[in-house]
Homo-oligomer: A and B are copies of this chain.
Amino acid sequence: MAAVRSSVTIRDVARVAEVHPSTVSRALGVQTRALVNEQTVQRIIRAAAELGYRVNPIARGLKTSRSCTVAVFIPDVTNPLFPPILRGIEDRLDDAGYTALIVNTDNDRDRERSQLDAMCDRQVDGFISATARVDRELLVAAAGRPVVLVNRSLEAAPVSAVAVDDRRGVRLAVEHLVTLGHVRIGHVAGSSSATTGQRRQLGFLESMRAAGLSVPKSHVRPSKAPTEQEGARAGGQLLDRVPGLTAIVAATDLLAVGCYDALESRGLRCPADVSVVGFNDIPLVDRLSPALTTVRVPQRQIGIAAADMLLELLVDSSRPAREVLLAPTLSVRESTAAPCTDRAGR
């Protein structure tokens, strides 16, 4: 009972249980337990508990070259998008006895490369990557270890992935605006080098068309980074160049917040003059003024699903790659309203 910490080895247990160390190993392993007499198993388990034995994963890892460890690549924990995903991943991995090693890449290619090497050195059993850029070579470098992508996908190679259904999310936003009576709707697009950015833009074009609305090129403005500054810049361009614009769908909450700034600096009000919809539903956007209408993404579920998928691959790495899309919902708040019918110069 008394858990005497540290350095009780398998040999100590063997001595007490009066068996050979290898028998202890067998008795304590879930897979191999069947190979040993039930009586003996009990005796060994009792001895182990008595001594406070705990298996040493390092030693085991050296022998088996498995570490029960998974590398998780994200751009930056500090981006409020990722903590819930991370939490989901960690909780799930933890249940399965795995530990996550978090790597912040800042979307820096060199950093990604070197950390990938470092993680391989540490013998991680697999990878979950939520970074914007996923080079084929990185996957190759994963050296046959399973990889699950989050919010990204790779056309070039069949890699398992989990993501929110971006197109559906944008469709919810557009349909909401259309129902309110909006016709001239603009899109502040995310980076086109990110899968999410591409898909959300595609979703925007699709659902506008489905609603019978035209989308001249000028209605879509790209942003370089999902920041308030970029949102203000791109949103501002939209406002300046599209006469009669009454609504903006932003690819990201922070971009949407930037649109607030763009509106304010032009003396326009939200939602009276222009409605704004965000994407992600990060903390506190429900308390802005106006509270942001946004597409809610089940971040934690995404993390859980990604971890589940990786765990499956860890058991059977031959499983075919598949992509899971999770359904978003729309949180309607104060930043969207019916368009004002009588507008001055706009």
The listed residue with most B CB atoms (<10 A of its CB), out of A83, A101, A117, A288, is A83
Chain B residues whose C-beta falls within 8 Å of the C-beta of A288 in the assembled complex: 284, 287-289
A257–B288 CA distance with the chains assembled, in angstroms: 11
Interface centre among A84, A100, A104 (most CB of B within 10 A): A104
> CA A54 – CA B123 in complex, angstroms?
12
Check A120–B58 contact: CB distance below 8 A.
no
Is residue A176 contacting chain B, with contact meaning CB distance below 8 A? no
Q: How far is the CA of A84 from the CA of B76 in the complex (A)?
A: 10
Q: How far is the CB of A345 from chain B (nearest CB, A)?
A: 27
Residues of chain B within 8 A of A3, CB atoms compared? 117
Query: What is the CB-to-nearest-CB distance from A281 to chain B, in angstroms, rounded to a whole number?
Result: 12
* Stretch in contact with the other chain, from A59-67, A199-207, A325-333: A59-67
Contact of A77 among B56, B77, B104, B260 (CB under 8 A): B77
Say how far A288's CB is from chain B's closest CB, in angstroms: 6
Known: A260-B287, A283-B283, A284-B288. 12 other contacts (CB 8 A): A55-B121, A56-B123, A57-B123, A58-B67, A58-B122, A58-B123, A78-B83, A80-B80, A87-B104, A90-B102, A257-B284, A288-B289
A99 located at the interface, meaning its Cβ lies under 8 Å from any Cβ of chain B in the complex: yes
Number of copies of this kind of chain in the complex:
2
A302 interfacial by beta-carbon distance below 8 Å: no
Per the bound structure, the CA–CA distance linking A6 and B77 in Å amounts to 29
Q: How far, in whole Å, are A159 and B58 apart by their CA atoms in the complex?
A: 28
Number of interface residues of A (CB under 8 A): 44
In the bound complex, what is the Cα–Cα distance between A3 and B141 (angstroms)? 10
- Could you tell me the distance in whole angstroms from the C-beta of A197 to the nearest C-beta in chain B? 21
Give the distance to chain B from A296, nearest Cβ to Cβ, in Å: 15
Residue from the list B58, B83, B122 in contact with A62, Cβ < 8 A = B58
Query: Roughly how many angstroms separate A117 CA and B141 CA in the complex, as a whole number?
Result: 33
Nearest CB to that of A300 among chain B residues? Answer: B78
Chain A positions 65 through 85: 1 when the CB is less than 8 Å from some CB of chain B, otherwise 0: 001000000001110100110
In the complex the two chains form, is A122's CB within 8 Å of B143's CB?
A: no
| A5 close to B (CB within 8 Å) | yes
- With a CB–CB cut-off of 8 A, which chain B residues contact A239? none
Task: Check if B86 sits within 8 Å of A5, measured CB to CB.
Answer: no
Q: Given the complex, which residues of B lie within 8 Å of A132, measured CB to CB?
A: none
Measured CB to CB, the closest approach of chain B to A312, in angstroms, equals 23
Q: Residues of B contacting A143 with CB < 8 Å? A: 5-6
- The docked-state distance in angstroms from the alpha carbon of A280 to that of B305 is 33
Measured between beta carbons, the chain B residues less than 8 angstroms from A55 are 121
- Tell me the A35-69 residues at the B interface (CB within 8 Å): 54-59, 61-62, 67
A5, A91, A100 — which one has the most chain B CB atoms within 10 A of its CB? Answer: A5
Q: Flag if B67 contacts A77 (CB, 8 Å).
A: no
